[in-house]
Amino acid sequence: MLGLLATAGERSGYELAKLAEKGIAYLWTPSRSQIYKVLPRLVAAGFARMREVEQRGRPDKALYQLTPVGLEALRGWLEEVEEEPAGGRVVFALKLFLCEFASPPTALAHLAAYRRFLERRLESYERLEARAASPRRYPEYVLQHGLARVRATLAWIDDTTAAIESDLNSATRRMDSFADSGTH
């Protein structure tokens, strides 16, 4: 929710739900009830502030905005690189999605951890494949899907890592060039 508030600016719970549906539903879709439960907790913790807006013919609307403390909490969560996140593999992609609020090295650390996570999964799938001598075809089809998905995600991790490293190298070269020009 902190990431959603960070990317959206001041919004109502309803607007945050709509933004999640449009923007990150392929990763994570919080229910409206989840959003409405979490927002007051974020306010109570000092991570967000709430402002009521009077509406004619309707109940007042509560607008929520991330506070500097909330942004720091988001950054702290992003800096935590987990090998086996409690939320499963989606946590890696969600954290990468929000790394604009962290740093490129943090994004690279998440990608490296995700790679290790998937390599462990690939090894277990390959062990299953080696033992598969079952006359049942449908479980084999599903196993092949898992293998293909893990291998495709590993290739994506390699491509994404290379792109981030290229961006970092370009930024470093620009900074070096700026420093060498004697301009301050």
Give the strand order in the sheet containing 11-12: 11-12, 61-66, 48-53
Answer yes or no: do 138 and 51 share one domain. no
Q: Is the pLDDT of residue 46 over 90?
A: yes
User: Cβ(47)–Cβ(69) under 8 Å?
Assistant: yes
Answer yes or no: do 89 and 50 share one domain. no
Boundary residue ending a domain (48, 63, 78): 78
Answer yes or no: do 169 and 132 share one domain. yes
What is the mean predicted confidence (pLDDT) over 98-123? 95
User: Cβ(78)–Cβ(102) under 8 Å?
Assistant: yes
Q: Is the pLDDT of residue 98 over 80?
A: yes
Angle between helices 137-180 and 104-131 (to 10 degrees): 160
Residue 3 has a pLDDT of 93
Number of other CB atoms surrounding residue 6 within 10 Å: 17
Residue 183 has a pLDDT of 55
| 73 band by pLDDT with thresholds 50, 70 and 90 | very high
Q: What is the C-alpha radius of gyration for the chain, rounded to an integer number of angstroms?
A: 22
Q: Quote the domain boundaries for residue 112.
A: 81-180
Has this prediction a pTM greater than 0.75?
yes
What domain count does the chain have? 2
Boundary residue ending a domain (78, 95, 118): 78
Boundary residue ending a domain (78, 101, 135): 78
Answer yes or no: do 73 and 148 share one domain. no
Question: 21 φ, ψ to 5°?
Answer: -60, -40
Answer yes or no: do 94 and 66 share one domain. no
Answer yes or no: do 47 and 111 share one domain. no
Answer yes or no: do 61 and 108 share one domain. no
Answer yes or no: do 63 and 131 share one domain. no
3-class SS of residue 60 = coil
